[in-house]
Structure 1
Amino acid sequence: MTTLRSILLVEDNPDDERLTLRALRRGNITNPVIVAHNGEEALQRLGAMHPLPIVVFLDLKLPKVDGLEVLRQIRSREATQNLPIVVLTSSSEERDIFNSYHLGANSYVRKPVSMDEFTTAVERLGMYWTQINQVSSYL
């Protein structure tokens, strides 16, 4: 029996955290979800995770260490440099989009404003990254 790899959700907003977790459940995503509430906690959790998560959903506007710095540090470490990372944020600033891709994000998704759109987007993201996308077992 294969153990499902986790999803690391890095989100400081409790409402967005709840909505994301609910959307993943609604999308029948059964992978365990580990939540970090700031950038520092995300880096600590990631350093202790074996195996690595199947994907990281990363907010940009985080306390302690911002999301771009989290992304930079993940990509600078050999063990995590190829880890799939989806920036899931409310920012539509061109600078944030550019910097995210420049630092190695696999995808940049702006959080939709409406609850229904947000739920649909997260369901689809969860389904893609856990069921459709192929991830190397070396990660």
Structure 2
Amino acid sequence: MKKHRDILIIEDDEDDREILQEIFRDLGYKNKLVFFHDGVEALDYLRRPEVEPFIVISDINMPKLGGFELRELILQEEIFMDKDIPYVFISNAQDEQSVRQANKLSIQDYIHKGSDYNSYKERIKNLIDYWRENINSFTSSGK
């Protein structure tokens, strides 16, 4: 089942990666977490035909290839058109311009990291639970 596949997390900040590991451990999801430090590494991995993750969670501000640029490339490449991978941005940026730019890239969610661990954990839980419940209906209907 697709909902048990890997969760890809693209995050260059070590502290933020550790927080996400802790959140997923606390929530008890069995999905394997696959971390990437930048968009270039993630794109190379995602281009592999056998790779079909459950979800991609990406920071926006990263070295080499930022989240916005990575998402643009994914939207342009034919290999991704049939993979049906939900794509979510996580960021400390809350400004209207960042949110607007993210929405133009056909993302499925935009989560503000914030400084409150429990609130961040709740947003991640809501995100994963939503996609666990709905992934089959989206992929079976061709969306």
TM range (shorter): 0.7 to 0.9
**Corresponding pairs, count:** 137
Aligned pair in 2 of structure 1 residues 132, 88: CA closer, same or farther (>3 Å)?
A: same
- Residues 40 and 11 of structure 1: is their aligned pair in 2 closer, same or farther, counting only changes over 3 Å? same
CA separation in 2, counterparts of 1:134 and 1:23? 21
* Structure ranking higher in helix proportion: 2
Give the C-alpha shift of residue 101 in structure 1.
Answer: 1.0
Partner of 1:132: 133
User: Does the 8 Å CA contact 2:60/2:66 hold for their aligned counterparts?
Assistant: yes
Partner SS for 1:125: helix
Structure 1: give runs of 5+ residues left out of the alignment: none
User: Which moved further from structure 2: 49-58 or 4-13?
Assistant: 49-58
Structure 1 residues 1-139: aligned runs within 5 Å: 4-48=4-48, 50-81=50-81, 82-129=84-131, 131-135=132-136, 136=139
Q: What TM-score comes out, normalization by structure 2 length?
A: 0.85
What amino acid sits opposite 1:39 in the alignment? G
| 5+ long unaligned stretches in structure 2 | none
8 Å contact kept, 2:7–2:32: yes
1:106 alignment partner AA: Q
**What RMSD, in angstroms, separates the aligned Cα atoms of the two structures?**
2.1
User: 4+ runs of 1 displaced by more than 3 Å?
Assistant: none
- What SS does structure 2 have at the residue aligned with 1:87? strand
Q: 1:27 and 1:103, CA in 2 relative to 1: closer, same or farther beyond 3 A?
A: same
Give identity over the alignment, percent: 26
